[in-house]
Amino acid sequence: GGPGDPPRHPDGAGPEDDGGDDDGADGEDPEPPPAAVPFKRLFACADRLDWALMAAGGAAAAAHGVALVVYLHLFGRAINSLHGRHTDQLFRDIKQQHALYFLYIAIGVFFAGWIEVSCWILTGERQTAVIRSKYVQVLLNQDMSFFDTYGNNGDIVSQVLSDVLLIQSALSEKVGNYIHNMATFFGGLVIGLVNCWQIALLTLATGPFIVAAGGISNIFLHRLAENIQDAYGEAASIAEQAILYIRTLYSFTNETLAKYSYATSLQATLRYGILISLVQGLGLGFTYGLAICSCALQLWVGRFLILHGRANGGEIVVALFAIILSGLGLNQAATNFYSFEQGRIAAYRLYEMISRSTSTVNQDGRTLNSVQGNIEFRNVYFSYLSRPEIPILSGFYLTVPARKTVALVGRNGSGKSSIIPLMERFYDPTLGEVLLDGENIKNLKLEWLRSQIGLVTQEPALLSLSIRENIAYGRSATTDQIEEAAKTAHAHTFISSLEKGYETQ
């Protein structure tokens, strides 16, 4: 379109983005991290009920996380109770007592897990519903110039869909999972140290070696994965060029060379694949081997503690596995940080929109008792806010008497398409006046003004409603009025032939 057409920026860039030079594109300067809100601001839309739900969900998550290590502690006590001589009745009483303990823990885990998941998911739904509502309210109160600049690049839709899902994930079940796993971590440490601090400390001392073994193998695997991806990319490039220029390939009878080049590039992927299998196998074996060696060392030390009366078998086993559970809990808790970070980044984008000022157009004003329909443009100057340096109308005059049909004719980009938006007050003139029956439309109530105008745009839109609702959109209309409008548009026969008629979606 020419300068008179409404600005369209599919990439979301304003007119000032002329491409510029490519400074910084050489990869020397690292890309700054995306902006994110503080974690606590994820809960900015929580009300009292949400805080109550989060408190209940957090307490239940902590109880759920501690339950396993408490069960392990009781299991150790049950093992210890089997030591020594007992009468049959005493032995049955001990078994029954510990069985009841385990049953109580099972019931507690059932209710704690139910409360944890239910509360966090419910509060996540409630808070994101508020965010969605505020986002759409602010969005629908923006000036038309906002949509000219940003409305076609998909960000508006993606923010209210994908970004809200990221926030919901971060402030709902992920928070519950984090509390759950951190409770397992701290509970495991406490139970391990309480039962046998020597074994607990020994387990903690050997843990970093196991983690280091897995970390080193992951570093090598990451580098090999990058190399194999590059090799696959090179092979794909060869195949793509061969298919893209297939006529040239056939005309020079170069099929054999293309096949050989592709097969040669695949040999590199095969070599990297073999290396990945070796490194992954060695890393996995070494990691689990160290873990089992660590258990053997702890049991060997535990033997001396038992011989010297410093601990018993149940305490040794509980301390060993409590610290292992503690480490697993910390590892699982760390997996939630990525979701938290993504939620904080998404929240920054959404909250930035929510905090935007709304339309500067005055919604109030007066209404006319009767409308004749005389329209006048008087010395109008206008340019779009997204392209202020390009004048669309300069000293424009136009008078349209009531009940007259007028067609605007002109070259492409002369400003024809800007006349109706000015009449609808999608935009206001930079200078000059637009008059309806001699009254400046800036003085009229905006909602009333637009209700007096019937508009068929260059790009008509069908909403996801029934045919009846699409025809009546924007006003209350009877069935007869809807059908009469369809007959005038020569659409009644076609609509009636449909299975659901005017109720067709």
Domains of the chain: 39-196+311-354 (1.20.1560.10), 375-451 (3.40.50.300), 467-503 (no CATH)
Which segment of 149-153, 180-184, 306-310, 406-410 scores lowest on mean pLDDT? Answer: 149-153
DSSP string for 291-331 = HHHHHHHHHHHHHHHHHTTS--HHHHHHHHHHHHHHHHHHH
23: pLDDT strictly greater than 60: no
Which segment of 15-24, 365-374, 420-429, 492-501 scores lowest on mean pLDDT? Answer: 15-24
DSSP string for 129-182 = HHHHHHHHHHHTTS-HHHHHHHTTSSHHHHIIIIIHHHHHHHHTHHHHHHHHHH
Q: How confident is the model at residue 214 (pLDDT cuts 50, 70, 90)?
A: confident
Report, as an integer, the average pLDDT of 42-58. 90
Q: What percent of the chain has pLDDT over 70?
A: 87
Q: What percent of the chain has pLDDT over 90?
A: 8
Report, as an integer, the average pLDDT of 163-185. 86
Q: How confident is the model at residue 136 (pLDDT cuts 50, 70, 90)?
A: confident
pLDDT digit string, tens, across residues 461-490: 788 889 988 888 877 888 888 889 899 989
Q: How confident is the model at residue 53 (pLDDT cuts 50, 70, 90)?
A: very high
What is the DSSP-derived secondary structure letter of residue 465? S
pLDDT at residue 90, rounded to an integer: 57
369: pLDDT strictly greater than 80: yes
333: pLDDT strictly greater than 60: yes
pLDDT at residue 277, rounded to an integer: 85
pLDDT at residue 56, rounded to an integer: 93
Residues in the chain: 505
Q: Give the chain's end-to-end CA distance (angstroms, integer).
A: 33
308: pLDDT strictly greater than 60: yes
pLDDT at residue 55, rounded to an integer: 92
Which segment of 51-55, 89-93, 139-143 scores lowest on mean pLDDT? Answer: 89-93
pLDDT at residue 59, rounded to an integer: 92
pLDDT at residue 88, rounded to an integer: 61
Structure-token match 């109720």, residue found: 503
pLDDT at residue 295, rounded to an integer: 80
| Higher pLDDT among residues 55 and 359, named by residue | 55
Q: Are 417 and 457 in contact (CB under 8 A)?
A: no
For the chain, what is the radius of gyration of the CA atoms?
36
Strands 439-440 and 431-436: antiparallel
Q: How confident is the model at residue 110 (pLDDT cuts 50, 70, 90)?
A: very high
pLDDT at residue 464, rounded to an integer: 84
Report, as an integer, the average pLDDT of 271-284. 83
Q: How confident is the model at residue 352 (pLDDT cuts 50, 70, 90)?
A: confident
pLDDT digit string, tens, across residues 65-108: 888 888 888 888 777 776 655 556 555 666 677 778 888 888 98
Q: How confident is the model at residue 363 (pLDDT cuts 50, 70, 90)?
A: low
426: pLDDT strictly greater than 80: yes
- Average pLDDT over all residues of the chain: 80
How many angstroms separate the CA atoms of 246 and 139, rounded? Answer: 50
How many angstroms separate the CA atoms of 269 and 49, rounded? Answer: 56
Contacts of 181 (CB under 8 A, 6+ apart): 65, 329, 330, 332, 333, 336
Q: How confident is the model at residue 286 (pLDDT cuts 50, 70, 90)?
A: confident
Indicate the angle between helix axes 173-195 and 88-139, nearest 10 degrees.
150
* pTM score: 0.66
pLDDT at residue 356, rounded to an integer: 72
8: pLDDT strictly greater than 80: no
